[in-house]
Amino acid sequence: MTTKKKPILNELFESRNKHIELAPEIDKNEFIKTVTSRRSVRVYNKQKVNEEDMRSCIELALLAPNSSNLQPWEFYWVRTIAKKNKLVEYCLGQPAAATAQELVVAVARPDYWKVNQKKMLKKINEMGEKAPRSAIKYYDKIVPLAYRQGFLSIRGYLKKIAMELRGIKKPTPREPYSKRGMAVWAHKSTALACENLMLALRAYGYDSCPMEGIDSTRIKKLLELKKPAEISMVISAGKRAENGVYGKQVRFNSKYFIHEL
Ligand SMILES: Cc1cc2nc3c(=O)[nH]c(=O)nc-3n(C[C@H](O)[C@H](O)[C@H](O)COP(=O)(O)O)c2cc1C
């Protein structure tokens, strides 16, 4: 009798798992209130954001789900007056930045797959005997296979040919295939963290506005960031001024966006 080899992902998620984490009860109405009262605020009042609240909200951003738990993001809370003034200028002076109490730059880090792969392997190794072998295999072998693109993305393009051919016959993991694909990869997780931050701010009684109407090149320079780091968005925070929300929230009919098959 031949034993069928389990796919690596099944191994990773099913084998020897003894961790039990119960889901706590949640007041869904409080969540609905948080989501529905979050609006992009363009004018803030003069009320400060409590420093500890701001720090807690940024920490909550880091709890967002992220690809392979490789956390391909950074958050720069720009606090010094001189840098903040520059950042407002690079947000093109828009009121959502100019009137904000706090500004955070969310940065996508495509290169962090490698940095955090190493950190993850170190963490797993520190578990000693208890370290799940499948996790070591995943971070040691699968992660480089999935994310290393090589010089001029040549490795990525070779992977593309191999995977697209394989994909003709069976379900196959595909992208990212290039440095650009890695940027998309990092932006996806970073954007999820941004939403965590904005919802956290709302839950703490504050407001926010995400901004991509920005001069990303100048902001990168201000933060002394180099390629392949990319600015995902700038998020402003504070409390809404009376006329801080420009109008009623507009969404098109959900029938255009939600498809049940
Ligand atoms: C990635 C992204 C970039 C945005 N950039 C800007 C911006 O530069 N300036 C601004 O005033 N609003 C910006 N917004 C806010 C959107 O205009 C806003 O989310 C949209 O109009 C829906 O309104 P709501 O957030 O109040 O629901 C941005 C939103 C996102 C998600």
- Domain residue limits, the chain: 40-109+184-245, 114-169
* CATH number of 40-109+184-245, picked from 3.40.470.10, 3.40.109.10, 3.20.20.70, 1.10.3720.10: 3.40.109.10
pLDDT at 21 (0 to 100): 96
Ligand 1 geometric centre to CA of 210 (Å): 6
Residue with the smallest CA separation from ligand 1 atom 4 is 211
% of the chain at pLDDT higher than 90: 91
List the beta bridge partners of residue 235: 104, 210
CA 164 to the chain's CA centroid = 27
Ligand 1 geometric centre to CA of 66 (Å): 22
- Letter string b/e over residues 1-27, b meaning 16 or more CB atoms within 10 A of that residue's CB: eeeeeeeeeebbeeeeeeeeeeeeeee
Give yes or no for a contact between 66 and 72, defined as CB atoms under 8 angstroms apart. yes
CA 177 to the chain's CA centroid = 20
Q: Which strands form 207-211's sheet, in the order they lie side by side?
A: 73-78, 102-108, 230-238, 207-211
State the DSSP code for 44: B
pLDDT at 14 (0 to 100): 55
- The predicted model gives 180-191 an average pLDDT of 98
What are the structure tokens assigned to 56, written together?
A: 């807690």
In the structure, what pLDDT confidence band is assigned to residue 129 with cuts at 50, 70 and 90? confident
Q: How many CA atoms are closer than 13 Å to the CA of 176, on its beta-carbon side? A: 23
User: Which atom from ligand 1 is nearest to the alpha carbon of 39?
Assistant: 26
In the structure, what pLDDT confidence band is assigned to residue 123 with cuts at 50, 70 and 90? very high
pLDDT at 30 (0 to 100): 98
- The predicted model gives 24-45 an average pLDDT of 98
Residues whose beta carbon lies within 6 Å of some atom of ligand 1: 39-40, 42, 94, 96, 209-213, 233, 249
Ligand 1 geometric centre to CA of 147 (Å): 30
In the structure, what pLDDT confidence band is assigned to residue 148 with cuts at 50, 70 and 90? very high
